[in-house]
Amino acid sequence: MTITAQAPSFGQAAAGYAANRPSCPPCPPVLLPAAEELAGGSSKGARVADAGAGTGLATALLHARGAHVIAVEPGPAMASPLRLRLPDVPPVPGDGNRLPPASGSADLLTCARAWHGSEPRTSVPEAVRVLRPGGTLALRRNDPDSTVPRTAGQDARPRRFFGAGTEEPDPMARFRGLPPELGFVHRQMSWTRNVPLDTPLANLAGCLLREVFPDGTVEERYAVSLAVAPLTPHCDRTPARPARPARTGCRGCRGCRG
């Protein structure tokens, strides 16, 4: 089975991803009802394949709504937190380019940010193969709201620093290459969460740095400064004491009496 090259890099960040990455909007439940409304069906009792399940953030919400979920995840490190979170939903190795479910076996196929790591010429036919006739492909992205000035500035500064581009993020850009014959319907929703300051900082660093350094390593370059004093055997190693300034008008000094 083909596994995308990005899977290991995400695996190296699995612990931080599980701890800091924002989930799908959990309360109030925004995303899944909207997806159900657009798809014209319910998640309860549905056979769902969650491709690129990661640590199980969305898989847990689907499971809680009564769906029979298959978690498709290529990275073993990312799948470990998923097993702890959802012991009843064992992850299955695979990705969007090569889905393990049988043809026509899924009512709903979901995929989040992992979709941009797949090849649409392969992943779209795979999605059509896995879904039953009348099934639904639901793609999602959970990005910081760039309409908030603080968020826009927060995203732009490190991007300028790391040379990742200064253009305003466009969450819909990832979906523009989708085949129009599938008839995608788009909707954007806003939600909030309150977390400690360290959480968004860690999430920002993890997401941005993984884009700039996809293999998970950084080449650091240092400049070593050296100071060497080669002393000769006869060199007086005692630092010379600075001469004391001459005193004028001294009456008690022996040198001034002469």
DSSP annotation string for 136-147: EEEE------TT
Give yes or no for residue 196 having a pLDDT over 50.
Answer: yes
The mean pLDDT value for 51-57 works out to 89
Q: How confident is the model at residue 104 (pLDDT cuts 50, 70, 90)?
A: very high
Left (φ > 0), alpha (ψ -120 to 50) or beta: where does 242 sit? beta
Q: How many C-alpha atoms does 106 have within 13 Å on its Cβ side?
A: 25
Residue 49, H or E segment: strand 47-51
Q: How confident is the model at residue 98 (pLDDT cuts 50, 70, 90)?
A: very high
Q: What percent of the chain has pLDDT over 90?
A: 22
Asked if residue 52 lies in contact with residue 95, where contact means CB atoms within 8 angstroms, the answer is: yes
Give yes or no for residue 140 having a pLDDT over 70.
Answer: yes
Backbone angles phi, psi at 199, to 5 degrees: -65, -55
Give yes or no for residue 28 having a pLDDT over 80.
Answer: no
Two tokens at 58?
């969305």
Give yes or no for residue 62 having a pLDDT over 60.
Answer: yes
**Cα–Cα distance measured from residue 176 to residue 142, given in angstroms and rounded to the nearest whole number:** 16
Residue 5: alpha-carbon gap to chain centroid: 15
The mean pLDDT value for 46-54 works out to 93
Two tokens at 234?
């006869």
**Cα–Cα distance measured from residue 39 to residue 23, given in angstroms and rounded to the nearest whole number:** 21
**Cα–Cα distance measured from residue 15 to residue 78, given in angstroms and rounded to the nearest whole number:** 8
Give yes or no for residue 1 having a pLDDT over 60.
Answer: no
Q: Tabulate helix, strand, coil % of the chain (nearest 5).
A: 40, 10, 50
**Cα–Cα distance measured from residue 52 to residue 115, given in angstroms and rounded to the nearest whole number:** 8
Q: 31-39 and 57-64 helices cross at what angle (nearest 10)?
A: 70
Q: How confident is the model at residue 86 (pLDDT cuts 50, 70, 90)?
A: very high
Q: What percent of the chain has pLDDT over 70?
A: 66
The amino acid that residue 220 corresponds to is E
The amino acid that residue 235 corresponds to is C
| Nearest in space to 142 (alpha carbons), one of 108, 104, 111, 176 | 111
Q: pLDDT value at position 174?
A: 67
